[in-house]
Amino acid sequence: MTLCKQLGYDQLNNYTLVSTGDSRQYSPRCRSGQPHILWCPREVTYCTQSLSVNCSYSTVNYYIGQVRLVDGQYPSEGRLEIYIRGSWGSLSAYSYYGDYKIMADRACRQLGYTGAAAWSIGTM
């Protein structure tokens, strides 16, 4: 269920185990209510099956601080938005005085990527 919530869905319809051969696997042990799979207790193991999930939603349940990319050509690119106070909004470059590369890397990791390949500051 945590994986579906992380993707913006509120229901896990079903799941199956898929044979993948012997590989290194990330094995989270999530409890109900955890919004992100990387926040779950975990261990790295070797196994022969991977998890395939089917998620859906009746209503979308966003959480405070959730991020997303919009208006990109691909799902992995776009303008960064954050969910705060019940709505989505863009991050202002003028109100942030830190390292933009660090902020981009953190947002990409929150979205499930390994980090930011590129970033820029634009106008809206």
* Angle, CA 88 vertex, CA 108 and CA 53 arms, to 5°: 55
- CA atoms in the 13 A half-sphere facing the CB of 68: 13
Under 8 Å between Cβ of 30 and 12: no
Instruction: Check: CB of residue 57 under 8 Å from CB of residue 9.
Output: yes
Residue 107 confidence class, pLDDT cut points 50, 70, 90:
confident
pLDDT value at 63 more than 70: yes
Domain chopping of the chain, boundaries: 2-56, 67-110
Q: 96 pLDDT exceeds 60?
A: no
E runs forming strands in 1-124: 11-28, 42-56, 67-70, 79-84, 87-90
Q: Is the pTM of this model over 0.75?
A: no
pLDDT for 124 beyond 60: no
